[in-house]
Amino acid sequence: MKSIFKSLMLVAAAAAMLTQAGCEDRNVNDPQSDATPSIKYIRPTDPALADKLLESSPMGETIAIIGSGLEGVVEIFFNDVRAELNPTLVTEHSIICNVPAVMPTEITNTMTLKTGKGNICVYDFAVDIPVPFITGTSCEWAKAGSEMTLYGSYLFPYEESNTFDVTFPGGKTAQIKSFDSSSITVVVPDGALEGTISVEGEYGIGMTKFSYRESTGMFIDCENVAVWDGWSYSGAYVHDDEESIDGSYIELTGSAAAWNWNTSGLALFFNNVLEDGTSRQPLLPLDADPAEYALKFECRINAWSDLWASMWFAGQYNTFSIDGEEAQYHWKPFADDSVVKGEWTTVTIPLSDFKVDKEETVNDRTLSRGDMGNFYIFFFGGLADEANAGTPISVYIDNFRIVRQ
């Protein structure tokens, strides 16, 4: 599905291409024009589709309206929903605008143009309402009986019942707790399996882009300490109790200390590279481009107010150096207002975001497949506020995996 928002340069280029041969557009955005607008046709802004005429368009699509007397148009309605209109993209012979991504109250299958002088043009044009589009969730590994929020767009419920059907893998139907135009909160049903979740509303069925309880690409599930705990740093901090999201989890815990490693509880070392240079299991396929993948894991932040967590990969056997040349990512959820403390959430970090050095003085490093061997987390860095030194840190983590974006 195309983005609602297009780059200004692309739109400007498309506008230039829409100027008709032998006809020069004038009176850009002239609300006082006495002209009555008239539409000849509507077409996509993509030059490759210049010969395609449109009688309808999906929500969010960018379209070009071609006609005459358009310079005075100040309002455009699709059904009864007003579109955002950029005056710089209004000319005598063309208007470029986005079809609103808002559900109309009344569906008339018409487009209405209004000028500043009150002249009106009504043109037959339908808006295609997409199926639900689910882009993410609060927690991909939410356990049965817990609440899980799905995020997306085009979330229009059944008109008659004013609700949705949300079905988990294994044919398990979820209880709907609440919803709005961009999210649906459900209770995860018992017996749900690994796979995609379906959301059905008035205009069809949409599938999640992610997989519930995804195991593909898993390299640390926290169950077998011998596999991931390379130097026995974090084995003492493994728990399996009522706080679990899926069996065992690791607690990274200690006290903040600027530029100083003061406890083994604030480090994790996944030693995947063997002494002969081979790996127990490659973290990426042989032909994979790291830029097409992301690191995912679940976390629950209990206490953490400062001091970033450095993350990096390395391809050498038995190494652990934050001063190396590897591309790092500095995790700082305490600076994100959307992170809710005390709740398990899914973290997604594109591998292309691994690009800084220890002190963040370099930000153009890149991650290669050859680096994808060992994995490290190290709470180590400059404190934004030195007064926070010594404050407690407690972060639960589980289910580290590399997935294709």
**Domain that residue 377 falls in:** 218-404
Q: How far apart are CA 40 and CA 94, in angstroms?
A: 10
- Is a pLDDT exceeding 60 seen at residue 14? no
* 184 and 231, same domain (yes or no): no
Residues 6 or more apart in contact with residue 224 via CB below 8 angstroms: none
Q: How many CB atoms lie within 10 A of CB 173?
A: 12
* 242 and 97, same domain (yes or no): no
- Is a pLDDT exceeding 60 seen at residue 368? yes
Q: How far apart are CA 97 and CA 157, in angstroms?
A: 27
Q: Of 128, 156, 171, which closes a domain? A: 128
* 322 and 223, same domain (yes or no): yes
Q: How confident is the model at residue 404 (pLDDT cuts 50, 70, 90)?
A: very high
Domain-embedded: residue 1: no
Q: Which of 106-110, 197-201, 316-320 is predicted least confidently? A: 316-320
| Burial class (CB within 10 angstroms; exposed 0-12, middle 13-18, buried 19+) of 329 | buried
Domain-embedded: residue 345: yes
* 267 and 346, same domain (yes or no): yes
- Is a pLDDT exceeding 50 seen at residue 143? yes
* 244 and 393, same domain (yes or no): yes
Domain-embedded: residue 213: no
* 242 and 370, same domain (yes or no): yes
What is the average pLDDT value for the chain, to the nearest integer? 88
Domain-embedded: residue 13: yes
Q: How far apart are CA 144 and CA 162, in angstroms?
A: 25
Distances (CA, A) of 99 to 39, 124, 127, 152, 233: 16, 14, 8, 18, 55
* 76 and 13, same domain (yes or no): yes
- Is a pLDDT exceeding 90 seen at residue 362? yes
Read off the pTM: 0.81
Q: What is the pLDDT of residue 377?
A: 92
- Is a pLDDT exceeding 90 seen at residue 5? no
Average pLDDT over residues 97-114: 94
Q: What is the pLDDT of residue 386?
A: 67
* 276 and 335, same domain (yes or no): yes
Q: Of 207, 237, 267, which closes a domain? A: 207
Average pLDDT over residues 291-313: 94
* 111 and 140, same domain (yes or no): no
CATH number at residue 112: 2.60.40.10
Domain-embedded: residue 320: yes
Q: What is the pLDDT of residues 31-54, one digit of tens each?
A: 889 999 999 999 999 988 888 999
* 138 and 96, same domain (yes or no): no
Q: How far apart are CA 252 and CA 268, in angstroms?
A: 8
> Which is nearest to 43 in space by CA: 17, 71, 5, 69?
17
Q: Of 80, 103, 128, which closes a domain? A: 128
Domain-embedded: residue 2: no
Q: What is the pLDDT of residue 178?
A: 97
- Is a pLDDT exceeding 90 seen at residue 118? yes
Q: What is the pLDDT of residue 281?
A: 84
Average pLDDT over residues 90-110: 94
| φ, ψ (nearest 5 deg) of residue 283 | -75, -15
Q: How many domains does the chain have?
A: 3
Average pLDDT over residues 131-141: 95
Q: What is the pLDDT of residue 390?
A: 78
Q: What is the pLDDT of residues 340-360, one digit of tens each?
A: 889 999 999 999 999 999 999
| φ, ψ (nearest 5 deg) of residue 126 | -100, 145
Domain-embedded: residue 3: no
- Is a pLDDT exceeding 80 seen at residue 369? yes
* 177 and 29, same domain (yes or no): no
* Percent of the chain topping pLDDT 90: 66
CATH number at residue 335: 2.60.120.430
Retrieve residue 180's tokens: 């709005």
Q: How confident is the model at residue 231 (pLDDT cuts 50, 70, 90)?
A: low
* 37 and 98, same domain (yes or no): yes
